[in-house]
């Protein structure tokens, strides 16, 4: 059976740990120049209905380095923009390519694509989730700080796709996660219900409470793609959620700050804090490449589907 990665909870904890280990191997192989091309002659279709720098570059370079090829398209340049049904697009692409990555608005679009495709579908970001980012961020955290089981993680800011995927990761792996969002901008309600299964999960509207004694602070933009009309209201609502030195001072002394990027200086993070952690943050961006190569290799390996 083919596997999809529409959200983090599509994979098991064991599979997630395998991918993190494999990402480290793939990163090392690239560093020492060992060719690793298990996906020769395979094509990944990439559909972008929202802008992207990292996701596009890391997936396109990733599939190329694995020996395969990327086909990049979007609604405006294809018949999707003229109303061709998704169920037909899915079945057509499935006859040409070996996996489809999509970045779009509604999670239902990814779910529908996965339902009709006979090849794996990967969620490259929706309004609800950003699973590839958080999978790779788990890799970055373990690379710098060791096993996530022993760490305290915080997420401060909008209860958006990043917050939701962090919550999914904490449900999957059972690590300690505290999330701080303003009351009107909470993460997905159904997911918060599910998160009750993890006794180490906490939600608050106080960013200081969330970062107290943590090892890792995550943040993200206050105005996600598609929310631009809410910009003014959001800037007011989030004003006390900026990662600055005062907030950072409440975390562990050797705490690190992650940002999935793009970053808006002196909004969700001060320029000073951003630059202090720039090496971590750009390693985080780099690790999209290694983590997603592990994902592509795994999901596009037909032996897995037959199991």
Q: How far is residue 64 CA from its own chain's centroid? A: 21
Looking at residues 201 to 220 of the shown chain, list those that interact with ligand NVA (rule: CB under 6 A). 220
**How far is the CA of 217 from the CAs of 10, 116, 117, 151, 203, in angstroms?**
25, 38, 37, 11, 14
Q: Which of 72, 227, 261, 304 binds ligand CP (CB under 6 A)?
A: 261
End-to-end CA distance of the chain: 7
Among 12, 28, 34, 53, binds ligand CP (CB under 6 A): 53
From 6, 293, 1, 5, select the one nearest 118 (Cα to Cα): 1
Residue 22's CB: how many other CB atoms inside 10 A? Answer: 18
Catalytic residue list contains 98:
no
Which one among 123, 133, 178, 267 touches ligand CP, defined by CB under 6 A? 133
Nearest partner of 158 among 231, 224, 229, 243, judged by Cα? 224
Establish whether 130 is a catalytic residue. yes
| From 130, 234, 259, 290, the catalytic residue | 130
Distance CA 187, CA 184 (A): 10
Q: 166: Cβ–Cβ under 8 A, 6 or more apart, which residues?
A: 134, 153, 155, 177, 179, 218
Catalytic residue at 220? yes
Would you count residue 104 as binding ligand NVA (CB under 6 A)? no
Retrieve residue 255's tokens. Answer: 């705490």
CA 73 to chain centre: 21
Size of the site for ligand NVA (CB under 6 A): 10
Full strand arrangement of the beta sheet holding 152-156: 201-204, 176-180, 152-156, 216-219, 256-259
Residue 58 touches ligand NVA, criterion: CB under 6 A: no
Measured from the CB atom, the residue of 101 and 260 that comes closer to ligand CP is 260
What is the closest distance, in whole angstroms, from the C-beta atom of residue 166 to ligand NVA in the complex?
A: 11
DSSP letters for 129-151: --HHHHHHHHHHHHHHH--GGG-
Q: Which does 107 bind (CB under 5 to 8 A by kind): ligand NVA, ligand CP, none?
A: none
Looking at the Cβ atoms of 107 and 117, the one nearer to ligand NVA is 107
- 245 to 304, contacts with ligand NVA by CB under 6 A? 260
Among residues 9, 71, 75, 225, which is the contact residue for ligand NVA, using CB under 6 A? 225
Chosen residue from 100, 163, 260, 296 binding ligand CP by CB under 6 A: 260
- Is 52 an interacting residue with respect to ligand CP (CB under 6 A)? yes
Q: Is residue 260 among the annotated active site residues?
A: yes
Burial of 14 (0-12, 13-18, 19+ CB in 10 A): exposed
Give least dist CB 95 to ligand CP, A. Answer: 28
Q: Which of 117, 160, 170, 270 binds ligand NVA (CB under 6 A)?
A: 160
Q: Which is nearer to ligand NVA, 41 or 228 (CB)?
A: 228
Q: Does 161 bind ligand NVA (CB under 6 A)?
A: yes
How far is residue 299's CA from residue 307's CA, in Å, rounded to a whole number? 12
Q: Which residues bind to ligand CP, rule: CB under 6 A?
A: 52-55, 125, 133, 260-261
Q: Which residues bind to ligand NVA, rule: CB under 6 A?
A: 125, 130, 160-162, 220-221, 224-225, 260
Residues involved in catalysis: 103, 130, 133, 220, 260, 288
């Amino acid at each position: 059976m083919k596997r999809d990665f529409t959200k983090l909870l599509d994979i098991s904890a064991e599979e997630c740990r395998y991918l993190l280990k494999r990402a480290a191997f793939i990163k090392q192989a690239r560093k020492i120049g060992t060719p690793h091309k298990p996906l020769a002659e395979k094509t990944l279709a990439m559909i972008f209905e929202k802008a992207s720098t990292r996701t596009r570059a890391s997936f396109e370079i990733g599939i190329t380095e694995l020996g395969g090829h990327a086909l990049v398209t979007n609604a405006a340049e294809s018949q999707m923009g003229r109303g061709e049904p998704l169920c037909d697009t899915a079945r057509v692409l499935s006859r040409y390519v070996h996996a489809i990555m999509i970045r779009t608005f509604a999670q239902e679009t990814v779910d529908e694509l996965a339902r009709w495709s006979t090849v794996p579908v990967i969620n490259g970001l929706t309004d609800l989730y950003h699973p590839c980012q958080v999978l790779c961020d788990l890799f970055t955290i373990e690379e710098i700080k060791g096993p996530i089981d022993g760490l305290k993680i915080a997420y401060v800011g909008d209860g958006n796709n990043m917050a939701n995927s962090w919550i999914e990761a904490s449900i999957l792996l059972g690590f300690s996660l505290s999330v701080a969002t303003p009351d009107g901008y909470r993460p997905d309600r159904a997911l918060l219900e599910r998160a009750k299964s993890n006794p180490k999960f906490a939600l608050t509207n106080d960013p200081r409470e969330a970062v107290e004694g943590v090892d890792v602070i995550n943040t993200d933009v206050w105005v996600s793609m598609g929310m631009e009309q809410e910009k003014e209201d959001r800037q007011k609502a989030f004003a006390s959620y900026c990662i600055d030195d005062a907030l950072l001072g409440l975390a562990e002394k050797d705490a690190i700050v992650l940002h999935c990027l793009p970053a808006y200086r002196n909004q969700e993070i001060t320029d000073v804090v951003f630059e202090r952690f720039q090496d971590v943050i750009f390693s985080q961006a780099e690790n999209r490449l290694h983590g997603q190569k592990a994902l592509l290799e795994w999901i596009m390996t037909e032996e897995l589907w037959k199991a």
